[in-house]
Structure 1
Amino acid sequence: MTAQATEDKDGRPPRTSSFLVTLLKRGTPALATATTGLTDEIADPTPLRAFKRISRMAGAVDARYNDGLLLRAARYVVLVPLAYRIVAVPGAFGAFVSAHGSTGVVPVALVALCSMAMSAFGIFWMLRKSPFRPDLAARLLVADLIVTVGFQLVIGLAEPTAVFHDALGVADKHLLGDIALLTLAIGIPSGLALAALSLPARLLSDFLNSGSANFAQAWSLYPTMFGVLFTGIGALILLGLGTRLALAYGIRNGRLAERAQQHRMLHDTVLQTLEAISLGGTGESGDRLVEVQRLARAQAMELRQTIETAAAQREEEASRPLGEKLAALAAEMARDGLRAQLVIAELDEDTLSEVRQIALRDAVRESLRNTMKHSGTDKVVVRVEERDGGIAVITRDHGQGFSPDARPAGFGISQSINARLGEVGGTALVESTPGSGTRVTLWVPF
């Protein structure tokens, strides 16, 4: 689903909600709704004021729709706070040992090892190949929350009062990572709830350790907590709006590419046939009618084959090397009256991707059709060779030629050749002189 949802499965209109609000309330899983409500205005290349474009990206989505691929990809964001805990907790433990040596080291070492083990398991669980289970993920988050609070209490019970606050700093690193984890995984309300819960947990830990609760000491971590929350909020907003903008641009560019492909197909098939009919000879009317009927039948068959068996053709062509593709093209041109002499040097064709082979083959086809229409000759030489880190195909005829300055590039050269090769990083060079024929050099990189 890449456009605005229209109706639910039961026929009711979708339940729309602001994407930004949904994102902040639900966390990264809200990215699964990002493909709904996309409009052309979001990807409009016309310069806009930043706030106006942002407001469009943060517009309405169908809150009940879930794109499976986006949902799976969004979950990997939680790897960041998990990785933070794996780095920050040992760092805090190292600082504690450096400051206090072996005093109270055993309880804080157990907290650090348990934190690292849970974070490592979380990373492993997220990266495993098994299907994602939301129910199990919820249980793991609850278990992590319980352990986070438990770390505070363990430090309060087991650490000597003299090193209590420094030991608590190790558990605090796990706490900060958990706030970021919950904020990203299930939204800002959960992160705020953990931050609020941590105050009584820290007061209780202080009471268990010294028999009194130091409110100022317990509150001292809150500026850092709020910093983590704001960082998580900023990450959510940037990730969410960036994802919507990228999706909108991708859809827009995909439509433009599809449109260009359709134009090329019409130019290379229907238009070529119509031009061949209009440029036909002056023979007997009966013979001319037979020729027109032959061209029409051939074109109808080609269009039907293109529409109905495009996927099968792509699979078949994928197993054929470039040399065979060009040989088949030469045979196709021969049926239309153009004799193409194919000269192929020894090539390392395995290094040329299928996409570039197809683009090169189709560009050669358009070049040969131009030769057939405009050169005044029925012979052409097609040479294939490795050149400049890629493969070049040079078509050379000794026809009437033309002056490039007097004849600007038409759709065939600009779109069927230049644009097609440009999409795969290739280039095209047309050289011609009146009376001396034409040379077309088509090149794509490996």
Structure 2
Amino acid sequence: MARGTNFLSALLRQGASVLASTPRELPPEVDDPEPVPAARRIGAVAATKVEAPSDPLMVRATRYAVLLPLGYRVFVLVIMWVWFGVAFGLAAAPMVTVVAWIGILGGLLSFVAVLRVPDPSGRLTRVLLVADLVSSVAASVLISLTAPVQLYWAAGWVSMVYLTGTVALWTMVRGLPAGLSLAGLGVAVQIGMLWRLPRTSSISFAGVVREAGLLLASAVIAIGTLVLIGIATRLALAIGMRLGQTSERARTERMLHDTVLQALEAIAMTSGCDEADSRGQLARVRNAARAQATELRRGLSENSAPDGLAAELAALATEMARDGLRAELAISDIGDDRLSEVRRLAVRDAAREAMRNTIKHSGTREVVVRMEERDGGVAVVTRDHGAGYDENARPPGFGVSESMKARLSEVGGWCRIESSPGRGTRVTLWVPQ
């Protein structure tokens, strides 16, 4: 696959393999959320460049494009076989039944092979394509040679369905040139078989024209379907890239909020004993900076194996202790290792934010953290008996609670904050298992 070529032209020439191309970036017109004329959006997709396939999953997924022509041929062959049997009787041309069921069973086996058999080298696909081509040409020749002359054109419908399926299959897998070449081959076979008729006439040539039109139509429909699939795939890819970048940006902002920003705010907090114990204060600042540097490095890598939410909360309590918050843990043995990593991290980061809010706003240095099983999921509750606040007059800085709610909502959970003046604050975090 030549890099940098036009996506549409590459798709027409090379077929479904081009769908595996995953460009690093796409024009903004492709995934512009604002209304854009369809022609402009499609044109932007068609003009994108083709990169060499690098994702094995995308390469494997392109094989599924063959399922459409295979399914079409199996379905229509059944219909044509039933039609011929009802109209003329299957005994009138036994080869029709043989060809029809070879095509039906072959299509079903190919269907299963595409879905079930790994083919990283593409060798199986090449074998299936060649076998399909040989069998479809043989089917046309056998029916032409064995069908009674009076049923020549009626029986030919079965072989024509077989051949149109092959043209569609090759068009989708190998591109339009391959499909048109096979359509020409099919027309040549039909012309060659006309010698069996007692005499050629305008009706005979009209039949050839009809079959040539059907073969051409199968190639055009197949390539049109492939182009639509390609445009839809590129559009979905562009939207996925945009959403992924937005999600990653939000994750980075939350991570910075939970580490760097929170650490800076904790360092900036003063107390009456700072001047009397300047060396101790300097040591605390250094410890806080060192701890947050470690946490930031961990957040940037996230390569360590998860230890479970209970271990995360214990580490979080140790982290808060360095900032002067005493966290009492009450953790139930609920097998929290069943939580996915993304949900575990969401709860951990939201709990950190809740405990940071306790340090900054509650006026107390004690908090109870409880983890329990609830409603088919895991709940983590932080409870302090500090100053609390009025929900209708939230103090400055508490707007960050919305980030806790957003963080849990993204992973299918929820966050509920309950507080009142003089009665402390309770934060409940819940995620499904």
Please, what TM-score do these two structures have when normalized by structure 1?
A: 0.86
Aligned AA (1:80)? L
Aligned AA (2:420)? T
Q: Mark the CA change 1:281 to 1:131 in structure 2 (over 3 Å): closer, same or farther.
A: same
Q: Residue 431 of structure 1: CA displacement?
A: 2.2
Q: Secondary structure at the match of 2:284?
A: helix
Corresponding position: 1:151 with 2:174: no
Corresponding position: 1:414 with 2:402: yes
- 1:48-96 deviation line (CA, Å, top 9, x unaligned): 2222222222223136566543222112210221222233223322222
Residue 423 of structure 1 corresponds to: 410
Q: Mark the CA change 1:133 to 1:328 in structure 2 (over 3 Å): closer, same or farther.
A: closer
Match among 300, 319, 326 for residue 313 of structure 2: 326
Residue 95 of structure 2 corresponds to: 107
Q: Secondary structure at the match of 1:393?
A: strand
Q: Residue 35 of structure 1: CA displacement?
A: 2.0
- 1:291-337 deviation line (CA, Å, top 9, x unaligned): 244333443344245426865764132xx3x3343334334333432
Residues in 2 aligned to 1:37 and 1:371: alpha-carbon distance in whole angstroms: 43
- 1:367-388 deviation line (CA, Å, top 9, x unaligned): 0111121100112223334444
- 1:174-193 deviation line (CA, Å, top 9, x unaligned): 11211211121111222222
Q: Map 1:398-409 onto structure 2 (within 5 A).
A: 398-407=385-394
Q: Is the 8 A contact 2:27 2:48 kept in 1?
A: no
Q: Map 1:370-409 onto structure 2 (within 5 A).
A: 370-407=357-394
Q: Is the 8 A contact 1:35 1:247 kept in 2?
A: no
Residues in 2 aligned to 1:41 and 1:289: alpha-carbon distance in whole angstroms: 58
Q: Residue 252 of structure 1: CA displacement?
A: 1.7
Corresponding position: 1:432 with 2:419: yes
Q: Map 1:215-230 onto structure 2 (within 5 A).
A: 215-230=205-220
Residue 289 of structure 2 corresponds to: 299
Residues in 1 aligned to 2:276 and 2:198: alpha-carbon distance in whole angstroms: 111
Name whichever of 370-379 and 340-349 sits farther off.
340-349
Q: Residue 345 of structure 1: CA displacement?
A: 5.1
Q: Mark the CA change 1:133 to 1:205 in structure 2 (over 3 Å): closer, same or farther.
A: farther
Q: Is the 8 A contact 2:263 2:288 kept in 1?
A: no
Residues in 2 aligned to 1:353 and 1:15: alpha-carbon distance in whole angstroms: 38
Q: Residue 363 of structure 1: CA displacement?
A: 0.8
Q: Is the 8 A contact 2:22 2:51 kept in 1?
A: no
Corresponding position: 1:194 with 2:192: no
Corresponding position: 1:185 with 2:170: no
Residues in 1 aligned to 2:282 and 2:232: alpha-carbon distance in whole angstroms: 54
Residue 76 of structure 2 corresponds to: 88
Q: Is the 8 A contact 1:57 1:245 kept in 2?
A: yes
Name whichever of 124-133 and 418-427 sits farther off.
124-133
Residue 51 of structure 1 corresponds to: 39
Residue 248 of structure 1 corresponds to: 238
Q: Is the 8 A contact 2:388 2:425 kept in 1?
A: yes
Residue 11 of structure 1 corresponds to: none
Residues in 1 aligned to 2:408 and 2:54: alpha-carbon distance in whole angstroms: 37
Corresponding position: 1:78 with 2:72: no
Corresponding position: 1:441 with 2:428: yes
Q: Is the 8 A contact 2:288 2:323 kept in 1?
A: no
Q: Map 1:280-299 onto structure 2 (within 5 A).
A: 280-285=270-275, 287-299=277-289
How large is the RMSD of aligned CA atoms in angstroms?
2.9
Residues in 1 aligned to 2:319 and 2:293: alpha-carbon distance in whole angstroms: 15
Q: Is the 8 A contact 1:344 1:384 kept in 2?
A: yes
Q: Map 1:54-73 onto structure 2 (within 5 A).
A: 54-62=42-50, 67-73=55-61
Residue 232 of structure 1 corresponds to: 222
Unaligned ranges ≥5, structure 1:
1-7, 9-13
Residue 250 of structure 2 corresponds to: 260
Residues in 2 aligned to 1:421 and 1:263: alpha-carbon distance in whole angstroms: 15
Q: Mark the CA change 1:149 to 1:64 in structure 2 (over 3 Å): closer, same or farther.
A: same
Aligned AA (1:353)? S
Residues in 2 aligned to 1:293 and 1:86: alpha-carbon distance in whole angstroms: 77
Residues in 2 aligned to 1:375 and 1:309: alpha-carbon distance in whole angstroms: 27
Q: Is the 8 A contact 1:157 1:209 kept in 2?
A: no
Q: Residue 145 of structure 1: CA displacement?
A: 2.1
Aligned AA (1:282)? G
Q: Is the 8 A contact 1:97 1:105 kept in 2?
A: no
Residue 326 of structure 2 corresponds to: 339
Unaligned ranges ≥5, structure 2:
none
Residues in 2 aligned to 1:135 and 1:382: alpha-carbon distance in whole angstroms: 58
Q: Mark the CA change 1:103 to 1:230 in structure 2 (over 3 Å): closer, same or farther.
A: same
Q: Mark the CA change 1:292 to 1:414 in structure 2 (over 3 Å): closer, same or farther.
A: farther
Q: Residue 413 of structure 1: CA displacement?
A: 1.7
Residues in 1 aligned to 2:333 and 2:311: alpha-carbon distance in whole angstroms: 13
Q: Secondary structure at the match of 1:425?
A: coil
Residues in 2 aligned to 1:37 and 1:365: alpha-carbon distance in whole angstroms: 35
Q: Is the 8 A contact 2:291 2:319 kept in 1?
A: no
Q: Residue 121 of structure 1: CA displacement?
A: 4.0
Residues in 2 aligned to 1:41 and 1:292: alpha-carbon distance in whole angstroms: 53
Q: Secondary structure at the match of 1:399?
A: coil
Q: Residue 215 of structure 1: CA displacement?
A: 0.9
Aligned AA (2:253)? H
Q: Residue 259 of structure 1: CA displacement?
A: 1.7
Corresponding position: 1:23 with 2:6: no
Q: Residue 238 of structure 1: CA displacement?
A: 1.9
Q: Residue 424 of structure 1: CA displacement?
A: 0.3
Q: Is the 8 A contact 1:345 1:385 kept in 2?
A: yes
Name whichever of 378-387 and 425-434 sits farther off.
378-387
